[in-house]
Amino acid sequence: MVKEYINRKVAEMLNNLLIKLTKSRPRHTNDNALAETKNGWVLRKWMGYGHIGQRHAKGINEFYFECFNEYLNFHRPCAFPIEVKDKKGKIKKKYRYQDYMTPYEKLRSIPDTRVYLKESVTLGMLDKKAKRYTDNEMAKKVQLERDKLFDKILAA
């Protein structure tokens, strides 16, 4: 018997919006390689390989929302590929040095960016957040906050 873990309310909402729900296959990490790679980097590099008990979830969420997400979105560069056709017509992804930027810089590079923001969010607000720390200052801050988080987890 195969059990599927699908949030029925989300599936119903997607159906109402005429969005097709797709599911990845077990043990096929290439089904969503970009998400799997990013999640793997975040989980392994920043949170380690060991089990962290559920009772620490609140502290971990606070760490993510208070500083880690800001680090990822405004200060950590990512590679954004371009698609190039080879001589046989096959499309390949190419990663060029000039296409490395933070997710926020990528958002700013999209024409008419405001269309993609919530009504309560302005580009001025995001610019202010992006300039609050230098990349090095934010990297140091996020490392210190992670150390504090793990000190609490180990003390418990």
pLDDT confidence of 40, banded at 50, 70, 90? confident
Higher-pLDDT residue of 75 and 39 is 75
Sign of the torsion formed by the C-alpha atoms of 116, 118, 123 and 125: negative
For residue 94, what are its two tokens?
Answer: 């190419």
What's the per-residue H, E or C state across 60-96? HHHHHHHHHHHHHHHCCCEECCEEEECCCCCEEEECC
For residue 106, what are its two tokens?
Answer: 């990528």
Average of per-residue pLDDT across 61-68: 93
pLDDT confidence of 45, banded at 50, 70, 90? confident
Q: What angle do CA 76, 79, 80 make, to 5 degrees?
A: 120
Distance separating alpha carbons of residues 81 and 76, to the nearest angstrom: 16
pTM of this prediction exceeds 0.75? no
Where are the domains positioned within the chain?
1-50
